[in-house]
């Protein structure tokens, strides 16, 4: 197996302390948002044998196994991350596979450079994802019932929000949500800035369930995403709890440290809370305008001690082991590729001792035994 050297992405919303604390190193003072583990070309993990994507390109069946290659092609199907939100991430949604393929092909045909700021599709893959909390973790996920969103907005007492409140009481609910989000994203910027300022002042004054939106406005003054965020369910995860996000579900992470796994893609369509490009027509095509009740996932234990987070996706499977002192070794040998990530203690993967934040790649079919004490996340595929 290969010990991984991983890139930490310094996005502006990242925490300055959470990832350094996990790794047991001194903070640099700069934001550290995401540590990537995998073979995504944007920041592939490195090994003593070379970069992980180069190893896989040279011998896909040897590294990934026949099952994975037959099911997902000659690339690692998932990307594993440690995510540390010190400030809110952009309000966003991800395309399904057909939308991603069509969008990527259209932008390639149009000759839009892959790194262009107005480029929407960076690859031809979908991006379902799962976030598992390591600390208390705050987020927004899926649309509230429109009547609940209307009550939240109405309580602010802002005259310019009344048209949105009225729209949210219309039927059918899906059409009401679509109309309100469209109106927010296409409103006159100066008028919207004034509305957001009034709403933020009222939210700060009211506190309680309105307090998070005053905080959003502090980070993103004048951004229509502050109002759009009130259309979504607010979710708090406790350590060990997780949230699955499928295609078209609007969401944003607000604060906390977590382990995130996703299909190997970087396709993001943004609704707000960002200075980056927002492609309103494409966003409205991708978003699923339906009220949802976010299902908080808790792991299901197996006799081997593996605790699995059940999701309806085959490109990734996330589980964890919480190993007490004296626990018997666990055989993890598998015909599919694996990444093992330690987050506590000093467990051993084979002969490799892992400190918190350290990880290894286990090629398909390679013997792998987990021993020692601590907590280890296991990322693999269903194939």
Q: How far apart are CA 362 and CA 1, in angstroms?
A: 5
Q: How far is CA 17 from the centre of its chain?
A: 19
Cβ contacts of residue 129 below 8 Å, gap of 6+?
A: 94, 244, 245, 260, 261, 262, 263
Three-state DSSP class for 137? strand
Which residues is 339 bridged to in the sheet? 361, 379
Q: How far apart are CA 219 and CA 360, in angstroms?
A: 36
Instruction: Name the active-site residue from 46, 75, 270, 323.
Output: 270
Report which of 314, 332, 338, 261 is spatially closest to residue 64, judged by C-alpha positions.
Answer: 338
Is 144 one of the catalytic residues? no
Q: Whole-angstrom distance between the N-terminal and C-terminal Cα of the chain?
A: 20
DSSP 8-state class, residue 192 = H
- Helix (H) or strand (E) holding 307, with range, is strand 306-309
Number of neighbours of residue 105 by Cβ within 10 angstroms: 12
Tell me the catalytic residues. 270
């Amino acid at each position: 197996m290969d010990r991984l050297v991983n890139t930490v992405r310094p996005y502006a919303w990242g925490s300055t302390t959470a990832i350094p604390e996990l790794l047991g190193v001194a903070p640099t003072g700069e934001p550290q948002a995401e540590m990537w583990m995998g073979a995504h070309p944007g920041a592939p993990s490195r090994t003593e044998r070379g970069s992980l994507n180069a190893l896989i390109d040279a011998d896909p069946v040897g590294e990934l196994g026949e099952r994975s290659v037959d099911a997902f092609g000659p690339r690692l199907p998932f990307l594993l991350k440690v995510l540390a939100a010190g400030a809110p991430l952009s309000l966003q949604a991800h395309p399904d596979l057909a939308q991603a393929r069509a969008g990527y092909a259209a932008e390639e045909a149009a000759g839009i450079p892959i790194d262009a700021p107005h480029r929407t599709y960076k690859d031809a893959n979908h991006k379902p994802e799962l976030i598992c909390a390591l600390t208390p973790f705050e987020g927004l996920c899926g649309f509230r019932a429109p009547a609940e969103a209307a009550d939240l907005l109405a309580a602010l007492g802002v005259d310019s929000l009344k048209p949105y409140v009225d729209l949210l009481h219309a039927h059918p609910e899906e059409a009401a949500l679509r109309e309100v989000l469209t109106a927010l994203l296409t409103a006159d910027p100066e008028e919207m800035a004034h509305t957001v300022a009034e709403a933020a002042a009222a939210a700060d004054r009211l506190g309680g369930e309105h307090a998070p939106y005053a905080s959003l406005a502090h980070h993103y003054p004048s951004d229509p995403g502050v109002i759009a965020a009130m259309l979504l369910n607010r979710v708090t995860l406790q350590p060990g709890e997780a949230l699955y996000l499928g295609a078209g579900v609007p969401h944003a992470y607000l604060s906390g440290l977590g382990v995130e796994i996703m299909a190997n893609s970087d396709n993001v369509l943004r609704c707000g809370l960002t200075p980056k490009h927002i492609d309103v027509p494409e966003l409205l095509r991708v978003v699923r305008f339906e009220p949802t009740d976010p299902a908080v996932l808790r792991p299901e234990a197996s006799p081997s001690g593996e605790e699995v987070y059940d999701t309806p996706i085959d490109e990734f499977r996330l589980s964890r082991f919480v190993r007490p002192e004296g626990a018997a070794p666990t055989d993890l040998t598998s015909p599919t590729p694996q990444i093992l990530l330690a987050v506590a203690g000093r467990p051993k993967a084979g002969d490799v001792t892992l400190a918190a934040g350290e990880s290894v790649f286990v090629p398909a079919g390679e013997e792998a035994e987990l021993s020692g004490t601590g907590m280890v996340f296991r990322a693999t595929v269903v194939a």
